[in-house]
Amino acid sequence: MKPKTLGELRKSGYQPRSVKEELRANLIARIRAGKPLFEGIHGYADTVIPALERAILAGHSINLLGLRGQAKTRMARSLVQLLDEWMPVVAGSELNDDPFAPVSRYAKDLVAAKGDATPIAWMHRDDRYTEKLATPDVTVADLIGDSDPIKAANLKLDYSDERVIHFGLVPRSNRGIFVINELPDLQPRIQVALFNILQEGDVQVRGFKMRLPLDIQFVFTANPEDYTNRGAIITPLKDRIQSQILTHYPDSIELGMKITAQEMRSADGQRAMVEVPDLMRVLVERIAMEARDSEFVDRKSGVSARLAIGALESVVSAAERRALYNNEKHTMVRIGDLFAVVPAITGKIELVYEGEQEGPEKVAQHLIGLALRNTFKNLFPDPSPKRRSSGSSDPYAEVVTWFNENETDLLLDGDARSYAAGLAAVNGLARLVALHQGPLAEAEQDLWMEFILHGLAEHSRIGRNHFTTGVRFGDVLSSILSEDADEEEDGSDLQGMN
């Protein structure tokens, strides 16, 4: 049973400690127990997390600085797990007053009047977290507080009386964690209001004589782009934030895949119906990495991890839609489904001038092409002309020769039978897959066969024309000659083809 009065709390031997002392002690216990600081945060084990641990051990206020989609807010929210599970407060207090050292007028008066009989409430750590998105319309009253004329009228008190104050978010976060997201968006005059709480640990509300000694762990998040585009963290405030920690994107496809798989959302029925092989996960992650290095994309803005998450969700949904229309109970994602991610890309990248000239959809198609091209080079022999001129045999000769005389169409919504038949007709495809990927299930073998076709097309070994309803592979020359005409067609000639 938890103590219910101040007297019972004293007898229990409870010793109050500050928020930063709590965070420090619980972090030390977690480190000694071999437990990770965060669950579900990947790629930061050697960079961000050690810096964050040092800041907590030092008792610092923290600014997480990084581009969008780098888990800054998620890490801030996870810090709650380092607080004690339950904390005693003076019952009815707005400011979560420590029963042994109350700061509000209400709690002081209650303790003075009732002494050891003062009622105690217990606050869970999840309720000790407050988060505010910085926007230009945030006011000092929102963060710190102001006099409340309704309170003054109801209590028949003068505006100078402490009891008429309506406290803002910061005082109400006393003995907890307070997070301001996108700090540079906060107007400079509002940032000034945070000086005293960061430096002296107290706040003053308007012209009232009283000062509130608050106990708060401050965490800020900021995007470097904001320093120039929308606002800035004013220098005196930056000086008072004791630790600035730089975040970053995953540095490998494997890490990106792990994050994307963890964060993507899909219904139970969708997961049962659609199979996503590793090749498709690699390609989706490669699109995000290509975007971060693209000359058409503004690197200062960054490419969020949400691009890869949304792209994979779009790919799975495209496969599910095809299966539903074909009355199939199970399907595997295809390479052609990658082109369904264009809407997931265009809204998540900021283009530089050259990209704006090309247009977001063309840039998205370009990124998909780069992902296919570069992944293909990593998994299969280089199909470039340089390799062929070196005198070595051409492993793709049989496939390329077949397309000199033939074409094959792969419909985006084609059923599994027509899809497999279109690929099986191409001489040499199955042999290439068996040679470089080994024995595979039939559906996955078809996926790899399609991948080879797109890889060869990206290297201009065979031709490829996109239509509304699918893709046609043929010889390079006919593709070039028909390119202009194909752009004007609506793809209706592919309807019903196998």
The pLDDT assigned to 493 comes to 45
Torsion on CA atoms 223, 224, 226, 228, rounded to nearest 10: 180
pLDDT at 494: 41
User: How many Cα atoms occupy the beta-carbon half-sphere of 174 within 13 Å?
Assistant: 25
pLDDT score, position 285:
96
Domain extent listing, the chain:
6-246, 249-379, 381-498
Note whether 331 and 275 are within 8 A (CB). yes
Whole-number pLDDT of residue 40: 87
pLDDT-derived band of residue 476, with 50, 70 and 90 as boundaries?
A: confident
Q: Which residues of 266-297 are buried (b: 16+ CB within 10 A; e: fewer)?
A: beeeeeebbbbeebbbbbbbbbbbbbeebebb
For the record, the structure tokens of 248 come out as: 């970053």
What is the arithmetic mean of pLDDT over 410-424? 94
Instruction: Compute the distance between CA of residue 413 and CA of residue 134 in angstroms, rounded to an integer.
Output: 45
Closest by CA position to 424, among listed 438, 437, 405, 443: 443
Please give the angle made by the CA atoms of 27, 33 and 37, to the nearest 5 degrees.
Answer: 40
pLDDT of residue 394: 87
Give the per-residue pLDDT at 453: 96
Lookup: tokens for 235: 């220098």
Report the CATH number of the 249-379 domain.
1.10.8
CA distances from 58 to 48, 55, 194, 195, 498 (A): 15, 5, 20, 20, 67
Mean pLDDT of 322-333: 95
Average pLDDT over every residue of 268-275: 91
- Mean residue pLDDT across the chain: 88
The answer to whether the CB of 486 falls within 8 A of the CB of 465 is yes
Specify which residues 297 forms β-bridges with.
351
The answer to whether the beta carbons of residues 310 and 344 sit under 8 Å apart is: yes
Whole-model pTM? 0.84
For 6-246, CATH number out of 1.20.120.430, 3.40.50.300, 3.20.20.210, 3.50.4.10 equals 3.40.50.300
Instruction: Report whether pLDDT(390) > 60.
Output: no
CB neighbour class for 143 (10 Å; exposed up to 12, middle 13-18, buried from 19): buried
Helix (H, G, I), strand (E, B) or coil at 456: helix
